[in-house]
Amino acid sequence: MRTFLFSLALLLLAAPFTYAQKGKVDTIYFDDFNGPKLNRKIWNVEVTGHTNNNEQQAYVDSSSVLYFVHGKAAQGARNGALVLHPRYRPGYTSKEKNKYDFISARINSEKKMEFTYGTATARMKITSGAGLWPAFWALGEGEWPGCGEIDMMETVGDSSWISNALHGPNYFGDTPLAYRYFLPKHGVVDQWHIYSVDWTKDKIVFKTDGVVTYTVTRAMVEKYGRWAFDNPKFLIFNFALGGGYPSAVNKIATPYTGISQATVDKIKAGKAVVLVDWVLVTKSK
């Protein structure tokens, strides 16, 4: 296992400001997505053509929606970046025989890189637009919501804020354990930001750019249901389009549930993307 000092050196090269953690930590996993191919020893590429949350996309395993960029195309990611890039593909038919007008990407580290407690961090740059619903999150194995879900970053297209949330038994869906964080100093999600969670046996602390945005304790969770955060979790990056959460916020029903015509035009033009500079998982010694 690589030392914290090595990981810190890599981060100082990649991040726009000094990122550090107090105390001694071990690096569980670090990936700066420098390509040329996704590390499939760690990452699974999901292929799903059934609908969850009334989302409007099918997830596919294709270089058109999941790829690497370098140099100027990486838009400030020094060693390159992973790109999640939804596409307009009217009439796409999934293996389940369902039809979609959009395809997109979702990757996870299930059964390959999982951890219990620790800190998960990613540097990301996200296109805004009503109905664009990317997320960086962690999930346990087993049936949802009992497996426990930690949402380090979600956005549904409003450039000014991101949300943090927990989901588990009796606190899922429109969970009471959620917080909308407005980026300071006219910040927008279209800029590079570092999103993270510090997860211990009794507390989960969310941060953006090192600033604490939301803290949830075991006692807060147990007011609603069982604490579902003592089991291993795996990481997920995905880029959903439309569906329940975006439409609940923006009240858009046409041309697609939760997706505005301006956002459809942005997708058609190839301008809706998420860039992931790096991801780091550490654990205190």
What does the pLDDT look like over 246-284, one tens digit per residue? 999 999 999 999 999 999 999 999 999 999 999 999 998
pLDDT digits (tens, 9 = 90+) for 26-76: 999 999 999 899 999 999 999 987 888 999 999 999 999 999 999 999 999
d(CA 278, CA 124): 8
- Counting residues of the chain whose pLDDT is more than 70, the rounded percentage is 92
The stretch 110-134 carries a mean pLDDT of: 98
Between strands 99-104 and 87-93, the pairing is: antiparallel
Q: So what's the pLDDT on residue 24? A: 82
Band of pLDDT at residue 121, cut at 50, 70 and 90? very high
Band of pLDDT at residue 21, cut at 50, 70 and 90? low
pLDDT digits (tens, 9 = 90+) for 199-224: 999 999 999 999 999 999 999 999 99
pTM of the model: 0.92
Band of pLDDT at residue 152, cut at 50, 70 and 90? very high
Contacts 24+ apart (CB under 8 A), 151-155: 151/178, 152/120, 152/122, 152/195, 152/196, 152/197, 152/206, 153/122, 153/124, 153/195, 153/208, 154/245, 155/126, 155/128, 155/189
Report the chain's mean pLDDT, rounded to a whole number.
92
Q: So what's the pLDDT on residue 35? A: 85
Q: So what's the pLDDT on residue 189? A: 98
Q: So what's the pLDDT on residue 264? A: 98
Question: When comparing pLDDT for 43 and 7, which is higher?
Answer: 43
Contact 233, 135 (CB under 8 A): no
Q: So what's the pLDDT on residue 22? A: 58
Give the number of other CB atoms < 10 A from CB of residue 141. 13
